[in-house]
Amino acid sequence: MNAPAPLLPRLPAVRGEIKADVPLKDTTWFKVGGAAEVLFQPADADDLAQFFRRLPAEIPATILGLGSNVIVRDGGIEGVVVRLGPLFRSIKVEEEIITVGAATVDSQVARQAMTNGLAGLEFLSGIPGSIGGGLRMNAGAYGSEFKDVVIDALVVERLGKVRTITNAELGFAYRHCGVPDDWVFLSARLKGKIGDKAEITAKMQEISKARTATQPVNTYTGGSTFANPDGKKAWELIEAAGCRGLKQGAAEVSEQHCNFLINTGKATAADLETLGETVRSKVKEKAGVDLQWEIRRYGKPA
């Protein structure tokens, strides 16, 4: 059988950076995974839109943000992986509205809101990752989530159309957004409210202390591994099933917070995913509950 033709020569010309066979291991917080068949970092929104308009429909596109809530499988990701670069990291404050680029780090937005005396966005300081990733999964922490603060978002559809989508059209639900996976968030408008800067600062300090005390923040890990089932907490189910500290190769269920998986140094993506599935199986056996992955998993096995 003949080997498949290289993908890069079949792709539209771009103004941004586009490369073949780019390792993704160091782009994810777990530090695991294979390569992108092609990695594209658009020069700007129009560059991305034009690329999508001319991209053959049969070539898949995967959107990758900061990699904080992602396992890239060891065989890498086929097709085109799109990552937004520094141009898409921006923050603009106008009264109670903050317009932010999709590649902007959540915690930076929280700090800018604090600087401008805007309350209601403190929870972003406790969410690892970028605004685009937060929109993609309606990320939340400490009693708030994206759906509570998003006014609207600017997106590029898979066919290259750029349009604004309202909060209602985003289809937010618990750790879910209704926008197709191959659409790219470009920016969003978030609504804060005028507040007391000292109170905002104190709340963010409380969040920081709580994260440090309860989560394995200084390890190779992602966000919460599994979504909380209705009326239950995933970590309690995992602990009750005897999974705290469980290991698979160099992957481990965190002793500090058992809804976090850790790469202790030389884990593979397969180690992490197998460990996660083992946890799911043990929780199902013990409690009859099907835990659902909150960590996104992309690509193919080795």
Q: Is 90 exceeded by the pLDDT of residue 223?
A: no
Q: Is 90 exceeded by the pLDDT of residue 104?
A: yes
Rg of the chain over Cα atoms, rounded to whole angstroms, equals 20
Q: Is 90 exceeded by the pLDDT of residue 113?
A: yes
Nearest of 285, 22, 297, 294 to residue 140 by alpha carbon: 294
Q: Is 80 exceeded by the pLDDT of residue 226?
A: yes
| Mean pLDDT confidence for 117-132 | 95
Nearest of 100, 103, 127 to residue 191 by alpha carbon: 100
As given in the structure block, the two tokens for residue 50 are 């034009």
pLDDT of amino acid 81: 98
Provide the angle, in degrees to the nearest 10, between the axes of the packed helices 197-214 and 106-115.
Answer: 150
* pLDDT grade for 2, boundaries at 50, 70 and 90: low
- Tens digits of per-residue pLDDT, 163-212? 999 999 999 999 999 999 999 999 999 999 999 999 999 999 999 999 99
Q: What share of the chain is helix, strand, coil (3-state, %, to 5)?
A: 30, 25, 45
* pLDDT grade for 4, boundaries at 50, 70 and 90: low
For all residues of the chain together, what is the average pLDDT? 95
Q: Is 60 exceeded by the pLDDT of residue 1?
A: no
Q: Report DSSP letters for 80-126, one per residue.
A: EEE---GGG--EEEETTEEEEETTSBHHHHHHHHHHTTEES-GGGGG
- Residues 6 or more apart in contact with residue 178 via CB below 8 angstroms: 169, 170, 171, 172
| Strand ranges (E), the chain | 17-23, 35-41, 61-63, 70-72, 77-82, 91-94, 97-101, 118-119, 140-141, 144-145, 150-156, 162-166, 184-191, 193-194, 220-221, 247-248, 251-253, 261-263, 296-298
Measure the CA–CA gap between 54 and 80, rounded to whole angstroms. 13
| Mean pLDDT confidence for 140-152 | 95
- Residues 6 or more apart in contact with residue 104 via CB below 8 angstroms: 88, 89, 90, 91, 130, 131
pLDDT of amino acid 203: 96
Q: Which residue in the block uniquely carries the two structure tokens 């509570």? A: 148
Residue ranges matching CATH 3.90.78.10 in the chain: 215-298
Residue ranges matching CATH 3.30.465.10 in the chain: 88-213
The third-level CATH classification (topology) of the domain covering 215-298 is 3.90.78
| Strand ranges (E), 138-278 | 140-141, 144-145, 150-156, 162-166, 184-191, 193-194, 220-221, 247-248, 251-253, 261-263
Measure the CA–CA gap between 163 and 156, rounded to whole angstroms. 7
The third-level CATH classification (topology) of the domain covering 8-86 is 3.30.43
What is the CB neighbour count within 10 angstroms for residue 261? 29
- Tens digits of per-residue pLDDT, 33-64? 999 999 999 999 999 999 999 999 999 999 99
Q: Is 80 exceeded by the pLDDT of residue 5?
A: no
Active site residues: 175, 224, 294
Query: For 88-213, CATH number?
Result: 3.30.465.10
| Mean pLDDT confidence for 8-27 | 96
pLDDT of amino acid 148: 97
Measure the CA–CA gap between 77 and 221, rounded to whole angstroms. 20
* pLDDT grade for 90, boundaries at 50, 70 and 90: very high
